[in-house]
Every structure is written in C-alpha cells, then in structure tokens.
Structure 1
Amino acid sequence: MALYHRLLGRAARLVWRVTRPRTIGVRAVLLDAGERLALVRHTYTDGWYLPGGGVKKGEAITHALHRELAEEVAIEGATVERVLGVYHSRREGKDDHVIVYVVRAGADTLHRGDALEVAEAGWFDPDALPAGTTPATLRRIAEWREGVTGEGRW
C-alpha cells in the first residue's frame, strides 16, 4: 500500500507542476504535558513531520487542524495556544501557504491514525528528535523553542 501512496504522490506533484495550484495547509507543534513533540512519518514520502495537512475547500482552517490531528495521530480535543507562524512554500510546484499552530494535546496517548497515510507516529523529546526529521520541521521546532513568531519561507 505504501508504494501505491508514493506513486499517487508523484502523480500529484506532476499535476501541480503543470497547474500550479494555490493551496493552504496546517501543521501543529503538538505538545503533551511533558513538553514532548508529536511527529509523524507518512507512507508516501520520507522523513518525520509535524502532524497536519491540507485545508479542504470550504473548510475553516482550525477545523482542518483538528481534523488532521484526529486523522494522523488520533488526538481529539486539543487546545490551540497560538499561531507559531504563516509560511510560504513553492515546493512541488504549488503556491502553498502553511499555518503552524502550537497546540496542547488533551491526552498523553498518541496513536497512529490513518494507517494508509501514516507509517509511524510518536512523542519525541525536543533534544532527541528522530533521524530524518525534515529541515522545515526542524526550523519550526527551533522557532517554537525560541518563542518567536515565524514567517516567510517554509
């Protein structure tokens, strides 16, 4: 199934290079009571990421955030503390805007949500992130740790 998702991802990136869509995404610096961070590894791409995803047409951005947390890491009832930043990405041929929130989980239990989309999910100490954590994820975590509001390049 992972191969199927990887092929779909490659096809989508090809379409995006041609159509150059404007998209909106959400990600969460999701924290438990012990200040551990939730990260996910998807089936369709390499690396560890902050949980999140795309905002659907007609969907409120915060609704998309909560939907993605439920889908990817089975967390419901999380509390949004603040917006970490708003970022722009031209990767994959898209004109993508990503809003990152700092969010507190209501529970310390983290489960991999959609098994077709998420290969692994876990809590990680900010000083012991897994190998393969993506550069953009590392930048967002650094901004959170510094207490700054991020902006600009994803």
Structure 2
Amino acid sequence: MFTASEWITQLQLEPHPEGGFFRQTMKSDETVTTADGRSRAQYTSIHFLVRSGEPSRLHRLESDEMWYYHTGAPLDVHMIHPESGQHEIMTLGPNPSNGEVLQGVVPKGAIFGAEVRAPEQFALVSCVVVPGFDFADFELLAHNELTAAYPEHREVIERLT
C-alpha cells in the first residue's frame, strides 16, 4: 500500500486552498446554465487526499458534492446545515459495520470540512461536483463568523478553521 506522499506523487496532487491535496481528473465538455445564469461544466471530478492533522477547512459550495472513498483511514466529513444549525458527520471508509460509507453527498449550501482522526494516517477520496466546481462558487469560512453563528459547534469549528 502506498504512503500519503507516494499517492501525492503518483496522482500528481497539489495543495488545495482549503487544505489537503487534489488534482482535477475529469471535467465535462458540456455546460449547463445555473438558475442565476452562470455557465458551469455539467460535472467535475477530483482526487483528494487528506492527512491527519491537516484537515480540509470549513467551506461552502453552491453545488452538491458527491464523495467516494478509495483507500486509507476513515475520513470524517463534518457538515453544518445552515437552515437547521444541525451538525452531521458522514464517515467515509471501508467498514460499514462501523457506520462508514463508501460514498455520500454534501448538499449545496452546507458548511463542511473533513478530517482524518487516526494519527499519522491519510484518506484518499474522489469528489464529484454537479454542476461542475468553479472557484467562483467556493467560500472558505472564517473562524469568528462560524463560532458566532454556531457556538454549539465550537469544538469542530476550532479544529476545521
């Protein structure tokens, strides 16, 4: 089995602004027009690697994002749903008897980030965004803004901002 560094090299991953490492692997040649008139690819897909102690920081997208587990340790994807304020954890991993899933969705508008809890480990996943990802639709969220809005989730906000 590859180490995190070997996966980063083999897959030619680069640092992502939210944390972790990524590379876009697919982008539809077809486009769609969003409800507010923006043109986006029908879909985009990336490989994404997160190492323990280096989380994917809390952010928000304007599209649904589907996550697919590949290898490594389980990955906790934390979601805060703005409409209800509810915190939900989707754990991607290979062991369904531990509540882990091989795939899942983060709905558009959710505030989310991800972390590997196991020390000295990593998780390799893929993410598909529909309509396709565009950095114009990406919002990295500030610690003070989130703790003011969701003080009951301070612990996870501290770790993921």
Q: Under a length normalisation based on structure 2, what TM-score does the superposition of the two structures give?
A: 0.25
Larger radius of gyration between Structure 1 and Structure 2: 2
By percentage of residues, which structure has more strand? 2
Q: Under a length normalisation based on structure 1, what TM-score does the superposition of the two structures give?
A: 0.26
